Structure 1
Amino acid sequence: MKTVLQQLVNYACYHRDPRNIRTHFVGIPMIVLAVAGLLARPALAGVSLAHVAVVLLVLYYLWLSRGAYRGLGLCMALCMLLALWGGLRLAALPQAAWLGWSLGLFVLGWLFQFVGHLYEGRKPAFVDDLMGLVIGPLFVVAEWLFLLGALGGMQRQIDAQAGPVRRRAHGPLPH
Structure 2
Amino acid sequence: MNKYLLVLLCAIFSISAHITFASNPKKEAAQWKYDIECAGTGSEGTFLVKIWTYSNKGTIPNEEAKKNAVHGVLFRGFAANGVGCVSQRPLIKDASIQHEKADYFNSFFGKESPYLKYATISSSVPEVVKVSKKEYKVGYVVSVSKDLLRKDLEVAGIVKSLSAGF
Q: TM-score range by the shorter chain?
A: under 0.3
1 or 2 for the larger relative contact order (CA 8 Å, sep ≥6)? 1
The structure where helix makes up a greater share of residues is 1
Q: TM-score, normalised by structure 1?
A: 0.26
Q: TM-score, normalised by structure 2?
A: 0.27
